[in-house]
Amino acid sequence: MALTFRGMTLQRIAFLEWRKMRRRMTERKNKVTRPNFGPSFYQSLQYRRAYWSELVARHGMEDELYPENSKLSCRAIAHAADVRMPALLDGPVSASELRPLDYGEQFVIKPDWGASSRGVMVLRKQKDGSFVELISGDRLDHDEIAAEAEQRVVTSRRGSVNRLIVEESVADGDTRPMEWKIFSFHGEVGLVQQMARGAGDTEMRLYRPDGTSAGRLRKDVVINQDLPEPGNLSELLDIARRVSLEINSGFVRVDLFERINGEIIFGELSLIPGGDLYFGRDWDRHLGQMWFDAEVRILEKGVPIIP
């Protein structure tokens, strides 16, 4: 005799439970998942990267669809914000038009387009008339510099060999300046990234705008909590705020140099900084909200906004 429960056999109960489970799984599978509309710095940056990649794919890098990606345009923005800059020694020029013998003892050659250390040459003149490239340590004569500059631009895929600029070096002899990369949101600062370049790995430290440590937010870089704190944080933040107000973008990274004597020098702007810039859920939402709020402030001015 078959076992029953409430008038049904166990086999019947099992079948009904299986059918109920299958229906629930089908409903769950077909259910429309509502997107999370919470602010996200990482997602906003990924959208901008995709947008810019599509522009480049359609029009190439020569068209100034993002004029703020030009270092010469960045210099004009910094000038409008009354920020000190390295002297412009030449440019825009092609690689074949470079005149290394006329640029002084130490200078920097970089592509005009894009924000990146790739494609950059830092050169120091030697007593014998040759030059040492301080990033690689290579020794070059003045005739080899043009070929090397062209090769670096081609390899880096940053900019054009026909649009190079030459600036004075901000290094103090053999000592590289401290680099500060300020995550800025149209007049407000969300995060400060310190960068120390050396012979080995590049080391970083992250700060809140109040100067306290932001901890180990980035997993893709070497974090050194012993790097010296900024000599004048308030000036760094003030410069970043002023510069960011000159560009109609909810987010821009303002890159600055700090020399040994404490002088702050403008480096460049980056609308699309590289690296894995996911700082964890809380910081991602915080910076994403700052980006969103900054875009609202720009739209309230009635001016076009950089997507």
State whether residue 173 is helix, strand or coil: coil
| Residue 30 maps to a domain | no
Provide the 8-state DSSP code for 172: B
Strand partners, 195: 179, 204
* Structure confidence at residue 148 (pLDDT): 83
Amino acid present at 292 = F
Band of pLDDT at residue 276, cut at 50, 70 and 90:
confident
pLDDT at 265 over 90: yes
Do both 278 and 260 map to the same domain? Answer: yes
Do both 162 and 257 map to the same domain? Answer: no
Domain edge (last residue) among 137, 168, 199: 168
Do both 154 and 179 map to the same domain? Answer: no
The model's pTM is 0.81
pLDDT one-digit tens code per residue, 28-49: 666 555 556 679 999 999 999 9
* Structure confidence at residue 147 (pLDDT): 83
Do both 226 and 271 map to the same domain? Answer: yes
pLDDT one-digit tens code per residue, 131-155: 988 877 889 988 888 888 888 777 7
pLDDT at 63 over 60: no
Taking the CA atoms of residue 235, residue 240, residue 245 and residue 250 in that order, the dihedral angle to the nearest 10 degrees is -150
| Residue 4 maps to a domain | no
Do both 185 and 291 map to the same domain? Answer: yes
| Residue 110 maps to a domain | yes
| Residue 224 maps to a domain | yes
The closest alpha carbon to 171, from 258, 50, 98, 88, belongs to 258
Do both 102 and 232 map to the same domain? Answer: no
The closest alpha carbon to 288, from 51, 36, 34, 52, belongs to 36
* Structure confidence at residue 243 (pLDDT): 97
* Structure confidence at residue 32 (pLDDT): 52
Give residue 243's Cα distance to chain centre.
15
pLDDT at 65 over 70: no
* Structure confidence at residue 136 (pLDDT): 78
| Residue 19 maps to a domain | no
pLDDT at 287 over 90: yes
Do both 150 and 128 map to the same domain? Answer: yes
| Residue 272 maps to a domain | yes
More confident residue, 288 or 159: 288
Do both 269 and 214 map to the same domain? Answer: yes
* Structure confidence at residue 2 (pLDDT): 52
Domain total of the chain: 2
Q: Which stretch, 55-64, 192-201, 257-266, has highest mean pLDDT?
A: 257-266
Do both 49 and 186 map to the same domain? Answer: yes
Do both 105 and 204 map to the same domain? Answer: no
Nearest-5° angle of CA 146, CA 151, CA 157? 130
More confident residue, 156 or 292: 292
Lowest mean pLDDT among 134-138, 161-165, 206-210, 220-224: 220-224
Do both 66 and 201 map to the same domain? Answer: yes
* Structure confidence at residue 225 (pLDDT): 80
CA distance 211 to 199: 27
Band of pLDDT at residue 192, cut at 50, 70 and 90:
very high
Give residue 138's domain range: 87-168
Sequence-distant (6+) residues with CB within 8 A of 213 are: 205, 206, 207, 225
* Structure confidence at residue 9 (pLDDT): 65
Which CATH number do you get for residue 47? Answer: 3.30.470.20
Sign, Cα dihedral of 95, 71, 264, 41: negative
The closest alpha carbon to 159, from 24, 241, 63, 61, belongs to 61
pLDDT at 66 over 70: no
Q: Which stretch, 12-26, 62-76, 112-126, 231-245, has highest mean pLDDT?
A: 231-245
Domain edge (last residue) among 112, 135, 168: 168
Whether 108 and 264 have beta carbons less than 8 Å apart is answered as no
| Residue 225 maps to a domain | yes
Residue environment code for 107-139, b if the CB has 16+ CB neighbours within 10 A, otherwise e: bbbbbbbbbbbebbbbbbbeeeeebbbbeeeee
Do both 180 and 284 map to the same domain? Answer: yes
User: Tokens at residue 13, please?
Assistant: 């109960």
pLDDT one-digit tens code per residue, 110-125: 888 765 566 788 899 9
| Residue 15 maps to a domain | no
With a pLDDT cut of 70, the percent of the chain lying above it is 82
Domain edge (last residue) among 128, 147, 168: 168
State whether residue 158 is helix, strand or coil: coil
Q: What mean pLDDT comes out for the span 125-131?
A: 89
